[in-house]
């Protein structure tokens, strides 16, 4: 290659770098976490590739990350013995927003004030190096390839890529030329502290190599999930969660277990306390990483947990899968299916325990992830009983304000105990907005009779109530369907006196007239006892599709 030509960053990268360069001092430490995590990822990837192509290691199976500070020259080098990058990968990975973390960060931008905090929350990946450096050099060689490369940038005008003799035999060296006010990142003491704080449980050893001294391992490394529970502190769990999930909330619940028997696996799973941003994004990656005998296999395996538990974060480590398991092998794999089954059971039973022992905390969980969990009632018929027990609902008799401790949520069991004599069905009304539902004229007749109606506001509600059909032999029935059964419930003399049929012959003439003028727009016009205040409401016929569902389906057709 001739003279290195300067290439422009993708426009989004420039925007990102602009923000990064102005980051608050208090946030800057995280650049090290990002670069160390990239180094560890690169090691994990090579370790995985080498399972089938051992020649990639060239006889050196040592994996790790090294920090080499040079205070005199205000430099910090971060080395890894991972997979490295070739020229195309360098240009793609360090010139565009290739990865989801940064992309997510960008999608959240807009409000200047929160931008800086978001850097900490999402991690902006490699580009965070420019928080502390005014020049960054990257020397890298892809494992198994002949040529090495050098990338350089000041984080403003663009970057250059050229062939280089200074690349490591395998892996990557990142040389940071620290900003004038960032010289302390070349101090061993500072590095020790940051690694302990942010990267203690990264999968590889992080070593400090200062001057001529012996390399010093800074982190605990190793698989936290393989250690006995009694040796792990709350703080370590939390940090591990932050590391693996790239999250910054405290986990709502932590499950650490070892399954022994027919198949053997261990798991360290977290239920977050806040909603991950990509919870409803079809392009999201799995949140649970798959390991085999402590070797990282993939973080994008949809087989480990069912989609309706996709809020789970953490690690599952199998003893039974072969180490050189391929992507194809992971699909429809019977061992993974067993693991998924076991995990599902475990998670649900933990949730049941929580619901019983800490009902208020459980409501917080339900408000965060209930809509996702309910998808299980549609997709997975095997869990109906437990999921119906775990489900919480708003209803016409719940206090829609915040007030009471249960947040106005009821269980189906409690609903059933409040059913008046003669009520055979669980009445539901589905829509988008709780307050709007509560005001619906469809409810008037039910209110007048003191019959409680569940108000459902998640799109999935329409689907699972149909699939599941009933709770303890009591069918779910939408109040928007015509139904004479309202008459049968709780013998209410007064309302019978006022009944429409008795209202005299005039009503039939009125109905005939209305049918005529609404011809083609409605199927029928009937007199109803379900209205007390409103003159009219729309209902679906028995056996016809529910009104809100019809609207939903129409929207999806567009
Ligand atoms: P992320 O790690 O979330 O993908 P980054 O901005 O940290 O995003 O890194 C972007 C990409 O650059 C990585 O996905 C990886 O492909 C590549 N990369 C970064 N650092 C290294 C490294 N030390 N070794 C190999 N590849 C790397
Ligand atoms: Mg990264």
Most ligand 1 atoms within 8 A of CB, residue of 66, 83, 99, 168 to mutate = 99
State the ligand closest to the CA atom of 102: 1
For the CA atoms of 293, 303, 103, 138, the dihedral, rounded to the nearest 10 degrees, stands at 30
3-state per-residue secondary structure call for 96-136: CCCCHHHHHHHHCCCCHHHHHHHHHHHCCHHHHHHHCEEEE
For ligand 1, whether the C-beta of 85 sits within 6 Å is yes
How far, in Å, is the centroid of ligand 1 from the Cα of 331? 26
Each residue of 220-234: pLDDT tens digit? Answer: 887 899 989 999 999
Ligand 1 proximity of 34 Cβ (cutoff 6 Å): yes
CA-to-CA distance for 178 and 258, rounded, in angstroms? 45
Alpha carbon of 227 to ligand 2 centroid (Å): 26
Q: Between 221 and 409, whose confidence is greater?
A: 409
Which ligand places an atom closest to the C-alpha of 16?
A: 1
For the CA of 94, the nearest ligand: 1
- Atom in ligand 1 nearest the alpha carbon of residue 37: 2
* Nearest Cα residue to atom 13 of ligand 1: 93
CA distance 550 to 554: 6
125 in contact with ligand 1, CB cutoff 6 A: yes
Closest residue by Cα to atom 4, ligand 1, is 99
Look-up: residue for tokens 């799973």? 269
**C-alpha torsion angle, residues 307, 308, 312, 318 (rounded to 10):** -50
Tens-place pLDDT, residues 181-196? 999 999 999 999 999 8
**Pairwise CA distance, residues 312 & 247, whole Å:** 12
User: What DSSP line would sit under 262-320, residue for residue?
Assistant: SS-EEEEEEEESS--TTTT-TTPPPSEEEEETTEEEES--TTSS-GGGTT-EEEEEESS
Instruction: Tell whether the torsion through CA atoms of 302, 308, 311 and 317 is positive or negative.
Output: negative
Q: In this predicted complex, what is the ipTM?
A: 0.99
* pLDDT, the chain, mean: 86
Q: Where residue 524 falls among pLDDT bands split at 50, 70, 90?
A: confident
pLDDT band at 482 (very low <50, low <70, confident <90, very high): low
121-167: per-residue pLDDT in tens? 555 789 989 999 999 999 999 999 999 999 999 999 899 999 999 99
Please give the structure tokens belonging to residue 2.
Answer: 């001739």
Confirm or reject: Cβ of 376 under 6 Å from ligand 1. Answer: no
Nearest CA to ligand 1 atom 25: 84
Q: Indicate if ligand 1 lies below 6 Å from the C-beta of 80.
A: yes
Residue closest by Cα to atom 18 of ligand 1: 38
pLDDT at 99: 58
Contact between 160 and 6 (Cβ < 8 Å): yes
User: For residue 86, what are the CA distances in angstroms to 37, 106, 152, 160, 203?
Assistant: 19, 27, 15, 14, 24
Q: Does ligand 1 come within 6 angstroms of the Cβ of 126?
A: yes
Residue 408 exposure: Cα atoms within 13 Å on the Cβ side:
14
Question: Shortest CA distance to 185 belongs to which of 136, 220, 224?
Answer: 136
Which of 75, 72, 177 lies closest to 135, judged by CA? 177
Alpha-carbon gap, residue 90 to 329, rounded angstroms: 30
Whether 39 lines ligand 1, by a CB cut-off of 6 Å, is yes
Beta bridge pairs of residue 90: none
Determine the distance separating the centroid of ligand 1 and the alpha carbon of 47, expressed in angstroms. Answer: 16
CA of 125 to the centre of ligand 2 (A): 4
Those residues with Cβ within 8 angstroms of residue 155's Cβ, 6 or more apart along the chain or in another chain: 17, 20, 21, 127, 129, 130, 133, 134, 135, 136
**First CA to last CA distance, the chain:** 53
Determine the Cα–Cα distance for residues 464 and 428; give it in Å rounded to an integer.
12
User: How many CB atoms neighbour CB 144 within 10 A?
Assistant: 17
Which helix (H) or strand (E) is 223 found in, with range? Answer: none
Confidence of residue 496 (pLDDT cuts 50, 70, 90): very low
In short, whether 93's Cβ falls inside 6 Å of ligand 1 is: yes
């Amino acid at each position: 290659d001739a003279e290195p030509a300067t290439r422009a960053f993708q426009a989004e990268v420039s925007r990102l770098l602009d923000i990064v360069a102005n980051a608050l001092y208090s946030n800057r430490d995280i650049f090290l976490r990002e670069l160390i995590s990239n180094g560890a990822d690169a090691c994990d990837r090579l370790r995985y590739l080498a399972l089938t192509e051992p020649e990639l290691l060239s006889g050196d199976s040592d994996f790790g990350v090294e920090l080499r500070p040079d205070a005199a020259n205000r430099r910090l080098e971060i080395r890894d013995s991972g997979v490295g990058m070739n020229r195309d990968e360098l240009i793609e990975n360090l010139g565009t927003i290739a990865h989801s973390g940064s992309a997510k960060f960008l999608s959240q931008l807009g409000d200047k004030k929160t931008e800086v905090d978001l850097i900490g929350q999402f991690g902006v990946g490699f580009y965070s190096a420019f928080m502390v450096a005014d020049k960054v050099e990257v020397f890298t060689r892809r494992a198994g390839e002949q040529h090495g490369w050098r990338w350089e940038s000041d984080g403003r005008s663009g970057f250059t890529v050229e062939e280089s003799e200074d690349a490591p035999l395998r892996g990557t060296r990142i040389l940071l030329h620290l900003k004038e006010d960032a010289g302390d990142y070349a101090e061993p003491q500072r590095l020790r502290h940051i690694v302990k704080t942010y990267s203690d449980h990264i999968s590889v050893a992080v070593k400090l190599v200062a001057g001529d001294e012996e390399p010093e391992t800074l982190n605990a490394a190793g698989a936290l999930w393989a250690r006995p529970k009694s040796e792990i502190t709350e703080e370590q769990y939390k940090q591990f969660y932050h590391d693996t999930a790239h999250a910054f909330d405290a986990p709502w619940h932590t499950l650490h277990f070892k399954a022994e028997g027919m198949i053997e696996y261990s798991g360290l799973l977290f239920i977050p306390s806040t909603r991950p941003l990509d919870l409803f994004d079809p392009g999201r990656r799995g949140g649970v990483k798959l390991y085999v005998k402590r070797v990282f296999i993939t973080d994008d395996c949809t087989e480990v947990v069912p989609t309706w538990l996709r809020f789970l974060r953490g690690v599952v480590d199998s003893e039974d899968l072969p180490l050189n398991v391929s992507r194809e092998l992971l699909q429809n794999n019977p061992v993974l299916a067993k693991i998924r089954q076991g995990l599902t059971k475990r998670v649900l039973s933990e949730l049941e325990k929580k619901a019983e022992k800490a009902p208020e905390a459980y409501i917080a969980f339900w408000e965060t992830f209930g809509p996702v969990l309910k998808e299980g009632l549609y997709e997975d018929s095997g869990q109906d009983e437990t999921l119906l027990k775990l489900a919480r609902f708003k209803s016409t008799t719940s206090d829609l304000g915040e007030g009471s401790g249960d947040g106005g949520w009821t269980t189906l069991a409690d609903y059933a105990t409040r059913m008046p004599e003669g009520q055979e069905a669980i009445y539901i009304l589905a829509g988008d907005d709780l307050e709007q539902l509560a005001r619906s004229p469809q409810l008037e007749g039910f209110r007048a009779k003191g019959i409680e109606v569940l108000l459902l506001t998640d799109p999935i509600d329409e689907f699972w109530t149909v699939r599941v059909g009933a709770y303890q032999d009591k069918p779910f029935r939408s109040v928007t369907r015509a139904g004479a059964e309202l008459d049968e419930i709780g013998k209410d003399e007064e309302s019978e006196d006022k009944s429409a049929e008795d209202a005299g012959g005039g009503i039939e003439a009125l109905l005939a007239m209305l049918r005529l003028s609404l011809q083609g727009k409605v199927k029928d016009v009937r007199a109803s006892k379900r209205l007390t205040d409103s003159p009219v409401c729309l209902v679906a016929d028995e056996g016809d599709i529910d009104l809100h569902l019809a609207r939903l389906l129409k929207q999806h057709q567009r």
